Structures are given as C-alpha cells and as structure tokens.
Structure 1
Amino acid sequence: MSAHSPFTSTLSVPDRVSYGKSERGRLPRSSHGRFDPGPERPDPIAVIERQSATRVPELVPIRYSRMLESPFRFYRGAAAIMATDLGALPHSGLRVQLCGDAHLLNFRMLASPERHLVFDINDFDETHPGPFEWDVKRLAASFVIAARANGFPTAEQDRAVRVCVRAYRERMREFAGMRTLDIWYALDDVDKLRGLMASSMDKKERRRTAHAAEQARTRTHMQAFAKLTHDTPEGRRIAPDPPLITPFADLQTEPGEEGREKELHTLVEDYAPTLSSERRHLLRHYRLVDLARKVVGVGSVGTRCWILLLLGRDDDDPLLLQAKEAQESVLAAHAGGEGFDNQGRRVVTGQRLIQTTSDIFLGYTHVVGLDGQERDFYVRQLRDWKGIARPETMEPDMLNLFAQVCGASLARAHARSGDPIAIGAYLGSGDGFDRALVGFAQAYADQNERDYAALRVAVDSGRVTAKTL
C-alpha cells in the first residue's frame, strides 16, 4: 500500500469508517501503550555505527559529541534506533506519508511563498510511507524527554503527551468530515494560532510568542547572507567557520577534493530541471560564485552538505541554497512499500505531500562523485523566515501549548496523504489512544536514557570517538 490512501477512490465513507474500526479490533488502541524490548533488540550503538559508516569520516566524531550532550540531543540523532524499535511492533496498517523524524524540534515557524508565517514540519530527511502512529509515537516520546530535561514531574510529562495526542486525534477527526480540497488547503497560520491560544496564555507567554514570531520574520536570506559571507578581493564570498563551515577553496588541500568544484557545478545544473518552468527561469538569473561544506543538525552530522552562494545582478542580490545529501530513510527497511530510485526525490516528494507550502527552490539531483560513488541530494533555500522552539525555556503550560500545536500540525500533514476517515475512526472519540501513548512515551524515554548511557560507555571504552568543537 502506498502513502496515498486507497480508500478515497474505492470505498464509500461508511466503508472507510468500518475499515478503521475493524483495524481497531485487530490492533486495540490500548496495545500502543506497550514497549517492552526483548533480548533480540539490536545493539543501539551498532545501529548508529552502520549509519556513520556512510558519512564523512572526519565529521562522525562531531555527531557522537553532539549526541552525548543530553538524552534529548541523543534522541534527535537516534531516529534509526527508534525506527528499528517501531518496526518490531505491531502496527495499525493505516499508512500515511510519514515525516519519519517527528520530534518536537522539527516543528517550527516557516515562510510560505506568499510571505505568510506558518507553523509546519520542517525536516524530511527520513520521510517515507508508513503507519501513522510511528510519527505520533516519536513526537509523544520527544515531549517526555524534553519535559524530563526541564525537571518537570511525571504528571507534567504525561500531561504534555495527552495534550499532544488529543490534539492529533481531534483534528484528524475534524479532517474526516471535510472535503478533500479543504484538507489540502488547510494551513496553520502563526498569527491565527496565536490569537486562538491567547486566552490560554498569560501575559509573559503572549509576549514571548509574539517575540518569537517577529524573530522568525527577521531570519531572511539577507540576514543569512550578512552572517555567512564576507567581502573579498574577488567579491562577496562565504566566510570560513571551520569545521562548521569550510569554504570550498579551503577544502582543496584535503585529499580527494581536487576537481570537486566541477562536480558541484554539475549538481546545480542537474538540479534545475526538477523545478517548475517558472522557477527554472528565476534560477537562471543567478550565477554560482562560491561553495562551502556545512556541518548540520545532530542526526545529519556527517552527511555531505553544501552551502551554495549564487548572485544575481550584483553582490547585494544573493541566493543561498543548501544541497544536502539524501540517504535511504531509516524507515525503509521496516515500513515496506515501493523503493525510490533517487533518495533526493523521496525527500522532495514527501515534503511536498506533507507541507502546506514548500520552498520555491526545493528540488533534487543525482551526482556521481570524483570517488566514483553515486549520491543523491535535495536542494532548498538555506534560510527563509525560520523560527525554532526552545523547549528548555518553557514552563509546563507553555510546553503543553506547544504540544497542542505540534499534534494538530502532524494531523494536518497526515490527513493530506492518508485517509483521515479511516484513521479518525480508528482513533475514536474517546481518549484510549491518548492514554496508551502516555505509557509508550514514558517507556521509550526510559529506553532512550539507557541508549544514551550505552553511547557514553562506547565513547569511554574507545569503541567510538567523540570530538567536541
């Protein structure tokens, strides 16, 4: 079964409701509360070592160092471990296009092409068709882990999960009653969300959310241009900040980097045809003038990522693109379904399915490197009105509000690609699924702490190497 629901065109609404309820009979909602890994569970360190084997070797120690900063940072880098765990569990069979890494920091404020500030999912490296509850479980566990990091008691941890999952369930059931196009056009406008939540926030929280929205609007491509580039005799170029940002010219002295400039120019040329015709025309107004290697995220550290500086009419007319290597989704081995001939296309297709509005320069390409290795990339603007949450600064009530909007946003994403009628019927009007996810999230947060401790042991024993910047 693909990510696209087969029910829309083949079954009546009553039959889709019946299907969802029949799946509930096969896999009761209460069963989602269990997570009890047995002795057959793979070694979590071996799982992330297999991932690291395909990455830039000198950057892998940075990944381990970042994952060691806290259990929450570990969780951000451990999507492959959780995918293995989820794949071993019974599942609903109600498939959607999954984000694949739906922890709370992958939800944020973004700019739409119409220059509206919206709230949406932002990371799609692991997107893949699969059972809807896998995303919900990863999101729910992330709230327990974040709440524990803040020192919140168990009752507050549980409340954040219940709020999140209830918002998902209720909005999915709302989508079940909507027309197909109305679901597709639904979006989460930040200003409207702030208005709806205002009555639930105190004065301090209202001020903080207003400030966060304004800050997001300042994070434009021009702000990134000012921060990441400097004047040189050759014109505006990317400023070095090694090892986080290493201009291409500085990489020329590293083994295997000679001639890579041609490879990267080819990357841009081959990416352009994946854009729509009017956006290809827009891209032709720019010329590539500089490139740099960038270290990104936590889970993505070590994947190949390039900043591309393009200029239009002059040095004050920039376009900053990010070309990021796309490897096979961590869900692929567990979720089944069709394979993908290009992992960049997988990311782009998934993002366009899930996001209400995607970056106008979102596209993909395939490159045969100088080392003979074939690699897929997806390309997008480096920064455009992005605001990220800071859960470490949130009091319990604010974390709950954030949990609510994340849960509702995830339901909107899933309703676009899956069958909201069948999923809504499976979830039901009661809170059985909500309560079950509380149990799962607590159990998985415990497992995450054990895995975090295992990484600490692996570093201390010399099995893997961590490098602090």
Structure 2
Amino acid sequence: MPTSLATRADRLQQGKSLRKLAPRAAHAQLVGPMDRDANAILDAQNATRLPALIEVRRQLLAGDPFAYLRGAAAVMAHDLQWQPMVGAKVQACGDCHLMNFGAFVTPEDNILFNVNDFDETLPGVDFTVDVKRLATSIAVAASAQGATKPQRHELAAATVRAYRKRMEALTYLTPLEVWHSRVDLEQEVKKFRNAAMRKKMMTIIARARGEGLDKDDNFPTLAESGAPVIHDKAPRIFHFAAGSDAAKGFEPGKGFAEYLNVMSPEVRVLFDRYTLKDFVFKAVGVGSVGTYCYVGLFMSGDEEPMFLQVKEASHSVLEALDEKLAYPGNQGQRVVEGQRMMQAASDIFLGWTEYSESGREFYVRILKNRRLAGISDIAGTEALTDYARLCGRTLARAHGRSGDPAVISGYMGDSDAFDEAIADFALAYEQRNEADHAAWAAAYPPNAPASPALPAKKQDKK
C-alpha cells in the first residue's frame, strides 16, 4: 500500500521512526567543511548574468548581513547539503526567508498570506531545508534590530514552534481540507500580541481593500506624456538597444508565442483583450539582480495597462543538495509548478516560455505592485515574534500540500526538541553568514548606505 494511503496513525508512527535515522537533536549542529569559498560560489553565478548589473548586485550584497543572506541562497544551499536530512520530502520554496512572504487579495476580497517567491523551488526536498533557512533569516533580522542572543534564539524557536503546531493541526484534516486550507491574514493578525503591529497590519489590510498595499518604488510607471511607454528608472528599469546584451536574452515576438502554447483557453480569451505596447529590462531583488528579467506593458482597447513580468529561470540552487533533484524540463515550468503547488491561489497568467537563440528559459506572471511590510516596519522583538510565527504557520500550510503532514508532525513530535535544535542551528548559521558578509564586503566594499529595508544594527547585549 502506498504510504499516502496508510492510516493517520501509521503515518504518525512512520514519522516518529525517522528520528532513528536523523535524531532531532542532530539538527542543532552546523556541520560540513568550513573552508568553502562563499565569494566564489556567488561570483560563479555572474557567468550568465547581464554584465552591466553585476556591480549593482555586488553592492546590494555588501549592504548588510540580512541583504547578504537574501542574496546568498546558493551559499546556504551549498552548506545545507551537509546537514542531517529526515527523509520527509516536500515541494520546497528554496529561498525561504521572512521577506519572501507576502499578502494578496483574492477575487473574493479575502487577503491571504503566503510564500511569494519561487525562483529556487524544487520538489522532493527535505522539509528541514526551508525551515532552517526561515529560522536563520529570523535570527539575522533580529540581530539587526539589536536583539540579544537569548532573544534571537527564542525568536527562531518560536518560528519553528508555530510551524510544528500548524503541521500538527493539518495532520487531523482530510487531504482535501489540507489542500484548500488558507492563511487568512485578517484572522492571523488578531493573534498578534504586539498592539502596535496589530494596528499597523489592520490598517494595511483596510487599505488593501481600498487603494491597495504600499507601492513598490521599483515598479514601472508610464511616461508623463501619457504615451503607452514605460518610464526609464536606470539602473533598475530601462529600455535597451537592438543588439545589446539585454536584447539578446529575449525577443518578445518569439517568446510570447511560446508562452501562448502553455496558456489555458479561458486565460487566452482574457490575454487576447490586451496588446503589447512596450518592453523593458527590469533588475529585480537582491540575489536575482543581473538575471534576465523583462516587463511588458500591455494595453486594452481603452488604454488600461497590464504589466507582465518575464523572468529568467535558472536551475534551482537546491540542486546542490543532491544531483538527483535536478529538474529535467524547462526551468520556468519548474517555478510555475512549484508556485501552484505551494500557494493557496496562484496568478492566472502564470506560464513559462523560452528563447532558443539565447538558450534561456523564463516564467511569466502578472507584475505585482504591492508589498505587505519591510523589516523596518516590523520594529521590536515582540512585533518580529508575531511576524515570525505567521511565517512559520504559513510555511507549514504550504508544505502540507505536497508533503505528508502526519509524517512530518510525527517526526517533530509534541515537545520543543525540534524547535530548540533548529534555533541552535539558526544562531550558528547567523554567525557564519556574518563572517561571509564581512568577507564579501572586504572584496567588494559598499559605496552606498545599508539597505533602507533594514534598520541600522544596534549593539548586541549578549
């Protein structure tokens, strides 16, 4: 009988038996070679990136340890290959840090909270990989806010505890109920203990139903003349000349033709009500800066704009965990399948394409001009704890769709043994990340202030 058809009790016991192969306490140690060259791992990614943006990426990574962690998913994936693996597999986010969670409004006017970045997603990955990266990101963010070592440890443990308890709750739902489960942001915010954070989030939710969430400064805007042209915001958003490096990455005519081939008939009807008017290059994120990413401006007959993002999809950094995990098809398809697997409600325009002349593969989606909150908005240890717990619960819901909640819950158990072990790991990796950032900043000294999304680091009262 397939494991998925075994009884809940049997699957819980199966998870518990996995502790013999990977004791929960074993996750506390950061193991593996200490002499790996993190700078070399990151610089190797530049080989396929737009040369003009490599220095921008270096500067962003040099800004502060949190910015470095965000951009160094490849380094952490390299290090995670040496850590204990349980054998309970899920569709992994792959770049699971607290800033890769966000909110969106459904057609039913519900505001859901979800994982929202899938560039590194991969199926068949041990669930602990995402949990460790999320807990580490909480520790690094807390360090930037001046939290003491015990506070950072408790924040990381609280994140994992929230994950564990939500996974336990999912265990006793039917598979169909797990699949349709949601993280309703309005209900979750009511659980926040920090009154100021609760009030701020409720204000954001109210605004989302009106004018929308805070707008991203790095979002395309139309030319002041009113023409159907995107306004240049170099070096992040810019038009490019024929024959340039950017032009060689993707050609809209051929690329969108391939995209139409994977589009469902009902979405094609909607898509055909728009026409492409302009096409620009857009530098994105921290770790993704320099990858080939474009934005197409589409207009309806009444000149109502829609922006579609065409983003390059390379092999997931999680392939470093095991060569057997390598995705065999179009890497854009990998991203789309991962997002559909993990998100409660996905963008209807999600699709993939390729441009054979450049050998690059892409995924397509609606370009969102919304953000829930930056790190600077989550001020104070109590507020960060609320947000960390929310991320932990949300990750459990995402993992529960592809993994087996009973097996994962059976492994983690009812005690805080797993929480404490992952928190120990998070603090150990926080120190490694800080050293890696220092080495990067020494090689590529920052010539600009630290990322505005992260407050200045206060003295650590250990």
Of 402, 410, 417, which residue of structure 2 is paired with 1:417? 402
Which AA in structure 1 matches 2:49?
Answer: R
Identity of aligned residues (%): 37
Which AA in structure 2 matches 1:422?
Answer: V
What TM-score, normalized to structure 2? 0.91
> What is the CA-CA distance between 1:36 and the residue it aligns to?
3.5
Match of residue 149 from structure 1: 144
> What is the CA-CA distance between 1:254 and the residue it aligns to?
6.1
Which AA in structure 2 matches 1:108?
Answer: G
Equivalenced residue count is 446
**How far apart, in 2, do the equivalents of 1:289 and 1:337 lie?**
39
| Alignment partner of 1:299 is 2:287 | yes
Instruction: Kindly indicate whether the alpha-carbon contact (under 8 Å) linking 1:168 and 1:411 is maintained by their aligned counterparts in 2.
Output: yes
> What is the CA-CA distance between 1:412 and the residue it aligns to?
0.3
Match of residue 380 from structure 2: 395
Instruction: Kindly indicate whether the alpha-carbon contact (under 8 Å) linking 1:113 and 1:357 is maintained by their aligned counterparts in 2.
Output: no
Change (3 A) 1:368 1:396: same
Change (3 A) 1:226 1:446: closer
**How far apart, in 2, do the equivalents of 1:150 and 1:161 lie?**
14
**How far apart, in 2, do the equivalents of 1:239 and 1:394 lie?**
34
Match of residue 41 from structure 2: 47
Match of residue 116 from structure 1: 110
Change (3 A) 1:397 1:14: same
> What is the CA-CA distance between 1:231 and the residue it aligns to?
4.5
| Alignment partner of 1:264 is 2:252 | yes
Change (3 A) 1:222 1:440: closer
Which AA in structure 2 matches 1:360?
Answer: I
Q: Which runs of 5+ in 2 are unaligned?
A: 450-462
**How far apart, in 2, do the equivalents of 1:426 and 1:468 lie?**
46
Instruction: Kindly indicate whether the alpha-carbon contact (under 8 Å) linking 2:249 and 2:355 is maintained by their aligned counterparts in 1.
Output: no
**How far apart, in 2, do the equivalents of 1:227 and 1:347 lie?**
23
Of 102, 123, 145, which residue of structure 1 is paired with 2:96? 102
| Alignment partner of 1:312 is 2:304 | no
Tell which deviates more after alignment, 373-382 or 213-222. 213-222
Instruction: Kindly indicate whether the alpha-carbon contact (under 8 Å) linking 1:321 and 1:379 is maintained by their aligned counterparts in 2.
Output: yes
| Alignment partner of 1:379 is 2:364 | yes
> What is the CA-CA distance between 1:54 and the residue it aligns to?
1.4
> What is the CA-CA distance between 1:219 and the residue it aligns to?
4.0
What TM-score, normalized to structure 1? 0.90
Instruction: Kindly indicate whether the alpha-carbon contact (under 8 Å) linking 1:216 and 1:386 is maintained by their aligned counterparts in 2.
Output: no
Task: Give 3-state SS (helix, strand or coil) of 2:325's partner.
Answer: coil
Q: Which runs of 5+ in 1 are unaligned?
A: 1-5, 461-465
**How far apart, in 2, do the equivalents of 1:138 and 1:206 lie?**
26
Match of residue 323 from structure 1: 310
Instruction: Kindly indicate whether the alpha-carbon contact (under 8 Å) linking 1:99 and 1:128 is maintained by their aligned counterparts in 2.
Output: yes
- What does 1:186-265 align with in structure 2 at a 5 Å threshold? 186-197=181-192, 200-202=193-195, 204-217=196-209, 218-219=211-212, 228-232=221-225, 235-247=227-239, 251-252=240-241, 255-256=244-245, 263-265=251-253
> What is the CA-CA distance between 1:60 and the residue it aligns to?
1.1
> What is the CA-CA distance between 1:360 and the residue it aligns to?
1.4
Task: Give 3-state SS (helix, strand or coil) of 1:323's partner.
Answer: strand
Task: Give 3-state SS (helix, strand or coil) of 2:327's partner.
Answer: coil
Change (3 A) 1:375 1:115: farther
Change (3 A) 1:23 1:348: same
| Alignment partner of 1:450 is 2:435 | yes
Residue deviations 1:393-425 (CA, integer Å, cap 9, x gap): 411111000011000000000000001110000
- What does 1:161-172 align with in structure 2 at a 5 Å threshold? 161-172=156-167
Instruction: Kindly indicate whether the alpha-carbon contact (under 8 Å) linking 1:109 and 1:388 is maintained by their aligned counterparts in 2.
Output: no
> What is the CA-CA distance between 1:272 and the residue it aligns to?
2.2
Task: Give 3-state SS (helix, strand or coil) of 2:190's partner.
Answer: helix
Residue deviations 1:76-99 (CA, integer Å, cap 9, x gap): 000000001001222111100000
- What does 1:79-90 align with in structure 2 at a 5 Å threshold? 79-90=73-84
**How far apart, in 2, do the equivalents of 1:16 and 1:260 lie?**
47
Match of residue 175 from structure 1: 170
Match of residue 8 from structure 1: 4
Match of residue 390 from structure 2: 405
Residue deviations 1:267-286 (CA, integer Å, cap 9, x gap): 12211232322111100110
